Amino acid sequence: MSARKLVAGLGACAALLAATAGCGGSAPSGAAGAAAGRDSGPVRIGALHPVSGANAVDGQQMRRGAQMAVEALNAAGGIKSLGGRKVELETGDTQGKAEVGQSEAQRLISEGSVGLVGTYQSAVSTNVSVVAERNRVPFVMDVTASDAIFSHGYKYSFRVQPGSAAIAGAAARYLKEVSEKAGRPVKKVAFLHEQTDFGTGAAEAFAKAAKKLGIQMGPNISYDAVTASDLTAQITQVKASGADVLAVAGYYRDGLLAAKAINAVKPNLNAVWGVSDGAFDQPKFVSDVGSLGERYFSTNYHYDAKNPATAKLRAEYQKRYGAPMRTGAVLAYDAVQVIAQGVERAASTDPEKVRAAIAASQVQPLTVGTGPIAFAPNGDNKNALPVLMQVQNGQIKQVYPQDKAESQPNYSVTWRP
Protein backbone atom coordinates (compact mmCIF):
# COMPACT_ATOMS: atom_id res chain seq x y z
CA MET A 1 0.00 0.00 0.00
CA SER A 2 1.34 3.47 -0.89
CA ALA A 3 1.93 6.04 1.83
CA ARG A 4 -0.78 8.20 0.32
CA LYS A 5 -3.38 5.42 0.40
CA LEU A 6 -2.35 4.52 3.94
CA VAL A 7 -2.85 8.12 5.07
CA ALA A 8 -6.20 8.26 3.27
CA GLY A 9 -7.31 5.06 4.95
CA LEU A 10 -6.23 6.27 8.38
CA GLY A 11 -7.99 9.56 7.74
CA ALA A 12 -11.21 7.78 6.85
CA CYS A 13 -11.02 5.68 9.99
CA ALA A 14 -10.27 8.76 12.09
CA ALA A 15 -13.32 10.49 10.68
CA LEU A 16 -15.36 7.38 11.36
CA LEU A 17 -14.15 7.30 14.96
CA ALA A 18 -15.13 10.93 15.36
CA ALA A 19 -18.53 10.47 13.77
CA THR A 20 -19.44 7.36 15.67
CA ALA A 21 -17.60 5.33 18.25
CA GLY A 22 -15.30 3.14 16.18
CA CYS A 23 -14.62 1.45 12.88
CA GLY A 24 -17.12 -1.34 13.45
CA GLY A 25 -20.07 -2.35 15.58
CA SER A 26 -23.77 -1.80 15.40
CA ALA A 27 -25.77 1.15 14.19
CA PRO A 28 -25.91 4.30 16.37
CA SER A 29 -28.31 4.41 19.31
CA GLY A 30 -30.50 6.95 17.50
CA ALA A 31 -31.28 4.45 14.76
CA ALA A 32 -34.57 3.35 16.31
CA GLY A 33 -35.83 6.93 16.47
CA ALA A 34 -34.73 7.58 12.91
CA ALA A 35 -36.53 4.46 11.70
CA ALA A 36 -39.70 5.55 13.45
CA GLY A 37 -39.42 8.95 11.77
CA ARG A 38 -39.17 7.32 8.36
CA ASP A 39 -42.17 5.03 8.83
CA SER A 40 -44.84 7.74 8.68
CA GLY A 41 -45.39 11.23 7.37
CA PRO A 42 -43.41 12.67 4.48
CA VAL A 43 -40.42 10.88 3.00
CA ARG A 44 -37.50 13.00 4.17
CA ILE A 45 -34.43 13.63 2.02
CA GLY A 46 -31.54 15.49 3.64
CA ALA A 47 -29.69 18.22 1.70
CA LEU A 48 -26.26 19.38 2.89
CA HIS A 49 -24.77 22.46 1.24
CA PRO A 50 -22.74 25.54 2.27
CA VAL A 51 -25.43 28.23 2.50
CA SER A 52 -23.18 30.46 4.59
CA GLY A 53 -19.48 31.22 4.17
CA ALA A 54 -17.36 31.75 1.06
CA ASN A 55 -19.38 29.36 -1.13
CA ALA A 56 -22.83 30.42 0.03
CA VAL A 57 -24.04 31.50 -3.42
CA ASP A 58 -23.42 28.05 -4.87
CA GLY A 59 -24.77 26.38 -1.74
CA GLN A 60 -27.99 28.37 -1.86
CA GLN A 61 -28.38 27.56 -5.56
CA MET A 62 -28.01 23.86 -4.84
CA ARG A 63 -30.49 23.93 -1.97
CA ARG A 64 -33.00 25.61 -4.26
CA GLY A 65 -32.37 23.01 -6.98
CA ALA A 66 -33.00 20.22 -4.48
CA GLN A 67 -36.21 21.92 -3.30
CA MET A 68 -37.45 22.29 -6.87
CA ALA A 69 -36.93 18.54 -7.36
CA VAL A 70 -39.02 17.84 -4.27
CA GLU A 71 -41.78 20.13 -5.53
CA ALA A 72 -41.77 18.38 -8.91
CA LEU A 73 -42.01 14.99 -7.24
CA ASN A 74 -44.95 16.05 -5.10
CA ALA A 75 -46.72 17.69 -8.03
CA ALA A 76 -46.43 14.37 -9.87
CA GLY A 77 -48.15 12.49 -7.04
CA GLY A 78 -45.38 11.84 -4.52
CA ILE A 79 -44.02 8.33 -3.97
CA LYS A 80 -46.68 6.24 -5.68
CA SER A 81 -45.40 2.88 -4.41
CA LEU A 82 -45.97 4.20 -0.88
CA GLY A 83 -49.50 5.36 -1.51
CA GLY A 84 -48.55 8.83 -2.68
CA ARG A 85 -46.54 9.85 0.36
CA LYS A 86 -45.14 13.33 -0.12
CA VAL A 87 -41.44 14.13 -0.15
CA GLU A 88 -39.92 16.71 2.18
CA LEU A 89 -36.48 18.32 2.03
CA GLU A 90 -34.61 18.53 5.33
CA THR A 91 -31.70 20.92 5.09
CA GLY A 92 -28.36 21.44 6.79
CA ASP A 93 -25.78 24.21 6.37
CA THR A 94 -22.26 22.78 6.19
CA GLN A 95 -20.75 26.31 6.35
CA GLY A 96 -18.11 24.84 4.04
CA LYS A 97 -16.54 23.05 7.02
CA ALA A 98 -15.93 19.30 7.07
CA GLU A 99 -16.66 18.89 10.78
CA VAL A 100 -19.92 20.85 10.51
CA GLY A 101 -21.02 18.80 7.51
CA GLN A 102 -20.30 15.66 9.51
CA SER A 103 -22.43 16.71 12.48
CA GLU A 104 -25.24 17.99 10.25
CA ALA A 105 -25.29 14.69 8.36
CA GLN A 106 -25.70 12.80 11.62
CA ARG A 107 -28.50 15.15 12.67
CA LEU A 108 -30.44 14.71 9.41
CA ILE A 109 -30.09 10.94 9.58
CA SER A 110 -31.20 10.90 13.23
CA GLU A 111 -34.25 12.95 12.27
CA GLY A 112 -35.32 10.32 9.74
CA SER A 113 -33.80 11.24 6.37
CA VAL A 114 -33.94 8.26 4.04
CA GLY A 115 -30.92 9.56 2.12
CA LEU A 116 -28.61 12.55 1.78
CA VAL A 117 -27.53 14.77 -1.12
CA GLY A 118 -24.60 17.20 -1.17
CA THR A 119 -22.20 18.76 -0.55
CA TYR A 120 -20.32 20.92 -3.13
CA GLN A 121 -16.94 20.50 -1.41
CA SER A 122 -14.93 17.29 -1.52
CA ALA A 123 -13.49 17.72 1.96
CA VAL A 124 -17.00 17.96 3.40
CA SER A 125 -18.27 15.01 1.36
CA THR A 126 -15.37 12.93 2.65
CA ASN A 127 -16.66 13.24 6.22
CA VAL A 128 -20.32 12.91 5.27
CA SER A 129 -19.63 9.70 3.35
CA VAL A 130 -18.20 8.17 6.51
CA VAL A 131 -21.31 9.12 8.49
CA ALA A 132 -23.55 7.71 5.76
CA GLU A 133 -21.59 4.46 5.64
CA ARG A 134 -21.68 4.05 9.41
CA ASN A 135 -25.44 4.64 9.52
CA ARG A 136 -26.09 2.60 6.34
CA VAL A 137 -27.93 5.50 4.69
CA PRO A 138 -27.37 6.34 0.98
CA PHE A 139 -25.47 9.52 0.20
CA VAL A 140 -25.82 10.78 -3.38
CA MET A 141 -23.19 13.40 -4.14
CA ASP A 142 -24.27 16.12 -6.50
CA VAL A 143 -20.99 18.07 -6.63
CA THR A 144 -17.89 16.29 -5.30
CA ALA A 145 -14.84 16.03 -7.53
CA SER A 146 -12.43 14.04 -5.35
CA ASP A 147 -12.02 10.38 -6.30
CA ALA A 148 -10.49 9.36 -2.97
CA ILE A 149 -13.92 8.75 -1.42
CA PHE A 150 -14.57 6.04 -3.98
CA SER A 151 -11.40 4.13 -3.22
CA HIS A 152 -12.52 2.87 0.23
CA GLY A 153 -15.07 0.31 -0.92
CA TYR A 154 -18.01 2.21 0.57
CA LYS A 155 -21.44 0.79 -0.28
CA TYR A 156 -23.60 3.82 0.48
CA SER A 157 -21.77 6.55 -1.47
CA PHE A 158 -22.89 7.51 -4.98
CA ARG A 159 -21.92 10.40 -7.26
CA VAL A 160 -23.85 12.01 -10.10
CA GLN A 161 -21.08 14.19 -11.60
CA PRO A 162 -17.96 12.79 -13.30
CA GLY A 163 -15.01 12.53 -10.92
CA SER A 164 -11.76 14.42 -10.82
CA ALA A 165 -9.77 11.87 -12.84
CA ALA A 166 -12.47 11.66 -15.51
CA ILE A 167 -12.70 15.44 -15.85
CA ALA A 168 -8.93 15.95 -15.78
CA GLY A 169 -8.35 13.20 -18.33
CA ALA A 170 -10.97 14.67 -20.63
CA ALA A 171 -9.52 18.17 -20.12
CA ALA A 172 -6.08 17.02 -21.25
CA ARG A 173 -7.48 15.09 -24.21
CA TYR A 174 -9.77 17.95 -25.29
CA LEU A 175 -6.87 20.43 -25.04
CA LYS A 176 -4.65 18.34 -27.28
CA GLU A 177 -7.41 17.74 -29.83
CA VAL A 178 -8.77 21.29 -29.93
CA SER A 179 -5.36 22.94 -30.08
CA GLU A 180 -4.17 20.62 -32.86
CA LYS A 181 -7.34 21.14 -34.91
CA ALA A 182 -6.72 24.88 -34.60
CA GLY A 183 -3.15 24.48 -35.87
CA ARG A 184 -1.66 25.64 -32.57
CA PRO A 185 -0.76 22.41 -30.73
CA VAL A 186 -0.27 22.85 -27.00
CA LYS A 187 3.35 22.63 -25.87
CA LYS A 188 3.57 23.40 -22.15
CA VAL A 189 0.90 23.75 -19.46
CA ALA A 190 1.23 25.51 -16.11
CA PHE A 191 -1.30 24.40 -13.49
CA LEU A 192 -2.73 26.77 -10.86
CA HIS A 193 -4.92 25.15 -8.20
CA GLU A 194 -6.35 25.53 -4.73
CA GLN A 195 -4.55 23.31 -2.24
CA THR A 196 -7.18 20.92 -0.84
CA ASP A 197 -7.99 17.42 -2.14
CA PHE A 198 -10.15 18.91 -4.88
CA GLY A 199 -7.55 21.15 -6.52
CA THR A 200 -4.58 18.92 -5.82
CA GLY A 201 -6.38 15.86 -7.18
CA ALA A 202 -7.37 17.72 -10.35
CA ALA A 203 -3.80 18.90 -10.92
CA GLU A 204 -2.28 15.45 -10.38
CA ALA A 205 -4.81 13.70 -12.61
CA PHE A 206 -4.40 16.28 -15.39
CA ALA A 207 -0.61 16.06 -15.25
CA LYS A 208 -0.73 12.27 -15.47
CA ALA A 209 -3.04 12.35 -18.50
CA ALA A 210 -1.17 15.20 -20.18
CA LYS A 211 2.21 13.50 -19.93
CA LYS A 212 0.78 10.39 -21.61
CA LEU A 213 -0.30 12.67 -24.46
CA GLY A 214 3.19 14.17 -24.77
CA ILE A 215 2.29 17.52 -23.19
CA GLN A 216 4.98 19.14 -21.06
CA MET A 217 3.84 20.23 -17.58
CA GLY A 218 5.08 22.91 -15.20
CA PRO A 219 5.04 24.75 -12.97
CA ASN A 220 2.47 23.35 -10.53
CA ILE A 221 1.32 26.23 -8.30
CA SER A 222 -1.03 25.90 -5.31
CA TYR A 223 -2.75 28.46 -3.07
CA ASP A 224 -5.15 28.59 -0.12
CA ALA A 225 -8.58 29.44 -1.53
CA VAL A 226 -9.87 30.50 1.89
CA THR A 227 -7.22 33.12 2.63
CA ALA A 228 -6.05 34.18 -0.85
CA SER A 229 -6.79 37.81 -1.67
CA ASP A 230 -4.55 38.22 -4.73
CA LEU A 231 -2.96 35.77 -7.19
CA THR A 232 -0.61 38.17 -8.96
CA ALA A 233 2.53 36.48 -7.64
CA GLN A 234 1.32 33.10 -8.85
CA ILE A 235 0.45 34.40 -12.33
CA THR A 236 3.82 36.16 -12.52
CA GLN A 237 5.39 32.74 -11.95
CA VAL A 238 3.28 31.35 -14.80
CA LYS A 239 4.45 34.15 -17.11
CA ALA A 240 8.10 33.42 -16.30
CA SER A 241 7.65 29.70 -17.00
CA GLY A 242 7.03 30.08 -20.73
CA ALA A 243 3.88 27.94 -20.60
CA ASP A 244 1.51 28.54 -23.51
CA VAL A 245 -1.58 27.30 -21.62
CA LEU A 246 -2.65 27.91 -18.03
CA ALA A 247 -4.87 25.23 -16.47
CA VAL A 248 -6.84 26.25 -13.36
CA ALA A 249 -8.75 24.29 -10.71
CA GLY A 250 -10.35 26.37 -7.96
CA TYR A 251 -13.58 27.75 -6.55
CA TYR A 252 -15.59 30.76 -7.67
CA ARG A 253 -14.04 33.55 -5.61
CA ASP A 254 -10.47 32.56 -6.42
CA GLY A 255 -11.44 32.16 -10.07
CA LEU A 256 -12.23 35.87 -10.09
CA LEU A 257 -8.86 36.57 -8.47
CA ALA A 258 -7.11 34.51 -11.17
CA ALA A 259 -8.86 36.40 -13.98
CA LYS A 260 -7.91 39.77 -12.48
CA ALA A 261 -4.30 38.69 -11.99
CA ILE A 262 -4.06 37.35 -15.55
CA ASN A 263 -5.30 40.70 -16.84
CA ALA A 264 -2.76 42.58 -14.72
CA VAL A 265 0.27 40.39 -15.46
CA LYS A 266 -0.57 39.54 -19.07
CA PRO A 267 1.24 36.20 -19.47
CA ASN A 268 1.86 35.08 -23.06
CA LEU A 269 -0.82 32.37 -23.27
CA ASN A 270 -2.80 30.69 -26.02
CA ALA A 271 -5.56 29.63 -23.61
CA VAL A 272 -6.81 29.63 -20.03
CA TRP A 273 -8.16 26.13 -19.43
CA GLY A 274 -10.39 25.38 -16.45
CA VAL A 275 -10.25 21.84 -15.05
CA SER A 276 -13.22 21.19 -12.74
CA ASP A 277 -13.00 24.90 -12.04
CA GLY A 278 -15.84 26.49 -10.09
CA ALA A 279 -15.83 29.83 -11.91
CA PHE A 280 -15.15 29.77 -15.63
CA ASP A 281 -18.37 28.05 -16.69
CA GLN A 282 -20.65 30.20 -14.51
CA PRO A 283 -22.84 32.96 -16.02
CA LYS A 284 -22.04 35.08 -12.97
CA PHE A 285 -18.34 34.86 -13.83
CA VAL A 286 -19.08 36.51 -17.17
CA SER A 287 -21.08 39.30 -15.54
CA ASP A 288 -18.53 39.81 -12.75
CA VAL A 289 -15.37 40.00 -14.89
CA GLY A 290 -16.84 41.20 -18.18
CA SER A 291 -14.50 41.04 -21.15
CA LEU A 292 -11.64 39.74 -18.95
CA GLY A 293 -13.17 36.28 -19.11
CA GLU A 294 -13.78 36.20 -22.86
CA ARG A 295 -12.58 32.94 -24.48
CA TYR A 296 -11.80 31.21 -21.17
CA PHE A 297 -12.29 27.45 -21.50
CA SER A 298 -13.59 25.09 -18.84
CA THR A 299 -13.82 21.29 -18.81
CA ASN A 300 -16.39 20.28 -16.24
CA TYR A 301 -19.74 18.71 -15.54
CA HIS A 302 -22.53 20.82 -17.01
CA TYR A 303 -26.28 21.04 -17.32
CA ASP A 304 -27.40 19.71 -20.69
CA ALA A 305 -27.98 22.88 -22.71
CA LYS A 306 -29.50 20.82 -25.53
CA ASN A 307 -32.11 19.09 -23.34
CA PRO A 308 -35.57 20.79 -23.47
CA ALA A 309 -36.40 19.57 -19.94
CA THR A 310 -33.27 21.23 -18.61
CA ALA A 311 -34.11 24.46 -20.42
CA LYS A 312 -37.59 24.42 -18.88
CA LEU A 313 -36.23 23.89 -15.38
CA ARG A 314 -33.66 26.67 -15.76
CA ALA A 315 -36.32 29.05 -17.10
CA GLU A 316 -38.47 28.34 -14.04
CA TYR A 317 -35.51 28.94 -11.74
CA GLN A 318 -34.74 32.25 -13.49
CA LYS A 319 -38.35 33.35 -13.16
CA ARG A 320 -38.54 32.38 -9.50
CA TYR A 321 -35.19 33.61 -8.23
CA GLY A 322 -34.11 36.22 -10.77
CA ALA A 323 -30.75 34.58 -11.44
CA PRO A 324 -29.43 31.94 -13.87
CA MET A 325 -29.57 28.39 -12.54
CA ARG A 326 -26.03 27.06 -12.15
CA THR A 327 -24.98 23.54 -12.97
CA GLY A 328 -24.60 22.66 -9.28
CA ALA A 329 -28.28 23.36 -8.75
CA VAL A 330 -29.21 21.11 -11.67
CA LEU A 331 -27.00 18.35 -10.23
CA ALA A 332 -28.72 18.75 -6.85
CA TYR A 333 -32.04 18.36 -8.66
CA ASP A 334 -30.76 15.16 -10.30
CA ALA A 335 -29.43 13.81 -6.98
CA VAL A 336 -32.81 14.24 -5.24
CA GLN A 337 -34.48 12.46 -8.15
CA VAL A 338 -32.04 9.56 -7.75
CA ILE A 339 -32.98 9.07 -4.09
CA ALA A 340 -36.70 9.53 -4.72
CA GLN A 341 -36.69 7.00 -7.54
CA GLY A 342 -34.77 4.65 -5.27
CA VAL A 343 -37.54 4.93 -2.69
CA GLU A 344 -40.13 4.43 -5.42
CA ARG A 345 -38.39 1.33 -6.73
CA ALA A 346 -37.83 -0.09 -3.25
CA ALA A 347 -41.41 0.70 -2.14
CA SER A 348 -39.81 1.31 1.23
CA THR A 349 -38.12 3.98 3.35
CA ASP A 350 -35.66 1.45 4.77
CA PRO A 351 -32.34 3.08 3.77
CA GLU A 352 -30.69 -0.28 3.07
CA LYS A 353 -33.45 -1.21 0.62
CA VAL A 354 -33.30 2.27 -0.90
CA ARG A 355 -29.55 1.90 -1.31
CA ALA A 356 -30.00 -1.38 -3.20
CA ALA A 357 -32.65 0.22 -5.42
CA ILE A 358 -30.41 3.22 -6.18
CA ALA A 359 -27.56 0.88 -7.17
CA ALA A 360 -29.87 -0.82 -9.69
CA SER A 361 -31.68 2.29 -10.95
CA GLN A 362 -31.39 4.25 -14.16
CA VAL A 363 -32.47 7.89 -13.90
CA GLN A 364 -32.74 10.30 -16.82
CA PRO A 365 -30.46 13.27 -16.04
CA LEU A 366 -30.73 16.98 -16.78
CA THR A 367 -26.95 17.17 -16.91
CA VAL A 368 -24.66 16.10 -19.76
CA GLY A 369 -24.09 12.36 -20.02
CA THR A 370 -23.82 9.48 -22.43
CA GLY A 371 -27.00 7.89 -21.05
CA PRO A 372 -29.09 7.65 -17.88
CA ILE A 373 -27.57 8.05 -14.44
CA ALA A 374 -26.46 4.50 -13.63
CA PHE A 375 -23.94 3.56 -10.99
CA ALA A 376 -20.83 1.42 -11.28
CA PRO A 377 -19.99 -0.90 -8.34
CA ASN A 378 -17.88 1.82 -6.69
CA GLY A 379 -20.80 4.29 -6.76
CA ASP A 380 -19.69 6.44 -9.68
CA ASN A 381 -22.13 7.44 -12.41
CA LYS A 382 -20.75 5.42 -15.30
CA ASN A 383 -22.54 7.58 -17.89
CA ALA A 384 -21.34 10.96 -16.63
CA LEU A 385 -19.52 12.97 -19.30
CA PRO A 386 -17.24 16.00 -18.93
CA VAL A 387 -17.90 18.69 -21.50
CA LEU A 388 -15.72 21.57 -22.72
CA MET A 389 -17.23 25.04 -22.46
CA GLN A 390 -16.00 28.46 -23.49
CA VAL A 391 -16.99 32.07 -22.84
CA GLN A 392 -18.01 33.38 -26.24
CA ASN A 393 -19.45 36.86 -26.73
CA GLY A 394 -20.41 37.03 -23.07
CA GLN A 395 -22.13 33.65 -22.95
CA ILE A 396 -21.12 30.18 -21.77
CA LYS A 397 -21.27 27.75 -24.69
CA GLN A 398 -20.75 23.99 -24.87
CA VAL A 399 -18.08 23.57 -27.56
CA TYR A 400 -16.70 20.00 -27.34
CA PRO A 401 -17.18 17.03 -27.92
CA GLN A 402 -18.88 17.75 -31.20
CA ASP A 403 -22.13 15.92 -30.42
CA LYS A 404 -22.62 18.09 -27.31
CA ALA A 405 -21.49 21.36 -28.88
CA GLU A 406 -23.64 24.47 -29.23
CA SER A 407 -20.83 26.25 -31.12
CA GLN A 408 -17.25 25.64 -32.18
CA PRO A 409 -14.24 26.19 -29.89
CA ASN A 410 -12.34 29.41 -30.61
CA TYR A 411 -8.66 28.49 -30.32
CA SER A 412 -7.57 29.74 -33.72
CA VAL A 413 -6.31 33.20 -32.80
CA THR A 414 -3.68 33.78 -30.13
CA TRP A 415 -5.44 34.63 -26.89
CA ARG A 416 -4.31 37.68 -24.96
CA PRO A 417 -5.83 39.20 -21.80
Q: Give the tens place of pLDDT for each residue, 343-370.
A: 999 999 999 999 999 999 999 999 999 9
pLDDT at 21 over 60: no
Lowest mean pLDDT among 40-44, 71-75, 195-199, 306-310: 195-199
Higher pLDDT, 71 or 30: 71
Task: Output the pLDDT for position 201.
Answer: 87
Reply yes or no on whether the pLDDT at 417 is more than 80.
no
Instruction: Read off the pLDDT of residues 132-185 as tens digits, 9 standing for 90 and up.
Output: 999 999 999 999 988 989 999 999 999 999 998 999 999 999 999 999 999 999
Per-residue pLDDT tens over the stretch 80-138 = 999 999 999 999 999 999 999 999 999 999 999 999 999 999 899 999 999 999 999 99
Which H/E stretch holds residue 328? helix 327-346
Q: What is the pTM of this model?
A: 0.82
Q: Rounded mean pLDDT of 249-266?
A: 94
Q: Which residues contact 256 (CB under 8 A, 6 or more apart)?
A: 279, 285, 288, 289
SS3 per residue for 79-147: EHHHCCECEEEEEEECCCCHHHHHHHHHHHHHCCCCEEEECCCHHHHHHHHHHHHHHCCCEEECCCCCC
Q: Which of 119, 403, 390, 400 is nearest to 271 (CA)?
A: 390
Distance CA(398)–CA(261), nearest Å, equals 26
Distance CA 145, CA 171 (A): 14
HSE value, Cβ hemisphere, 13 Å, CA-based, for 29: 1
* Distance in angstroms (rounded) separating the CA atoms of residues 332 and 326: 10
Highest mean pLDDT among 90-94, 391-395, 409-413: 90-94
Q: How far apart are the first and last CA of the chain?
A: 45
User: Considering the chain, what percentage of its residues have pLDDT values greater than 70?
Assistant: 90
- The neighbouring-strand residues paired with 389 are 298, 398
> What angle, rounded to 10 degrees, do the helices at 122-135 and 98-110 form?
30
DSSP per position, 268-321? --SEEEEES-SSTT-HHHHHHHGGGGTT-EEEE--B-TT-HHHHHHHHHHHHHH
332 in Cβ contact with 338 (< 8 Å) = no
32: confidence class by pLDDT, cuts 50, 70, 90: low
Residue 406: how many CB atoms within 10 A of its CB?
14
Please tell me which residue, 305 or 372, carries the higher pLDDT value: 372
Peptide bond into 377 cis (omega under 30): no
Q: What is the pLDDT of residue 39?
A: 77
Confidence of residue 34 (pLDDT cuts 50, 70, 90): low
Q: Do 37 and 44 contact (CB within 8 A), yes or no?
A: yes
Range 317-351 burial, b when 16+ CB lie within 10 A, else e:
beeeeeebbbbbbbbbbbbbbbbbbbbbbbebbbb
**Is the pLDDT reported for residue 55 higher than 60?**
yes
pLDDT reported for residue 30: 52
User: Cβ-count burial of 114 within 10 angstroms (0-12 exposed, 13-18 middle, 19+ buried)?
Assistant: buried
Confidence label for 198 from pLDDT (cuts 50, 70 and 90): confident
Beta partners for residue 221, in sequence order:
192
Flag whether pLDDT at 54 surpasses 90: no
Contact 92, 107 (CB under 8 A): yes
Mean pLDDT, the chain, as a whole number?
Answer: 90
